[in-house]
Structure 1
């Protein structure tokens, strides 16, 4: 894992004139510093290592966040280096948005969250899959 004090991180910005997105678990803008590499992490769903998938939305979000953290570590990064997330939710609702915000806070802590786009979808790759999240990570130059 990188030293959090010297690891490159995106600059996260919520400018005046735009609403505060923090309760929904994201920032409006992420600026990637010069001299860094990007790692693209594929969509992570709520499957366990052995392929089990809960029927519960919160369980799937929580497992997908755990899977995302494993992928970030495997790439040599840490959550504070995420510049952008994309979230796909089946049967999206305000209640599910609340669950997402709570689980982002649980996974990443109270720090500002990265830029994020949430896309409601009618279905995902696997039967019963309700949630998927991918990430763009900022890493030091090789």
Structure 2
């Protein structure tokens, strides 16, 4: 399998080359290539806290809110969900069930098509008490 997609005037190419398993069911791509005329936007880790700083005790609700927070941060930078090239995800007490929740909510937040490269890191805790999920991103925009 060797699939490619290009976005924003070919600033980014996502690839899943032959010889590697298909990561699409797990919500990511293996390789991202960035054109030399691109500007990178870095979004700090976004957790599941709402605007008032409150955290739901529910994992799915935190994941949904974290993606809403990520989309808000991208918008301020002039970026869209489709401009994300790299995600780093931290999950407290990671499990296969939480992976499925993450995948479903990632699809809902980022839409159809290939997903960005992604690293999921299981952790024992995050910065705030009760925080169960955090996502940071790198997006690509024209200069």
Instruction: Please give the residue correspondences for 1:1-142 in structure 2 after superposition, counting only pairs within 5 Å.
Output: 6=8, 9-141=11-143
> Which structure ranks higher in relative contact order (CA pairs < 8 Å, sequence separation ≥ 6)?
1
Q: Any stretches of 5+ residues in structure 2 without a counterpart?
A: 1-6
* Count of residue pairs brought into register by the alignment: 137
Normalising by the residue count of structure 2, what TM-score does the alignment of the two structures yield? Answer: 0.92
Pairwise CA RMSD: 1.2
Describe the shift of the 1:8–1:137 C-alpha distance in structure 2 as closer, same or farther (beyond 3 A).
farther
| Counterpart Cα distance in 1 of 2:77 and 2:10 | 14
Secondary structure at the aligned position of 2:49 is classed as coil
Normalising by the residue count of structure 1, what TM-score does the alignment of the two structures yield? Answer: 0.93
Q: What is the deviation of 1:18?
A: 0.7
Q: Any stretches of 5+ residues in structure 1 without a counterpart?
A: none
When you count strand as a share of all residues, which structure comes out higher? 2
Q: What is the deviation of 1:99?
A: 0.5
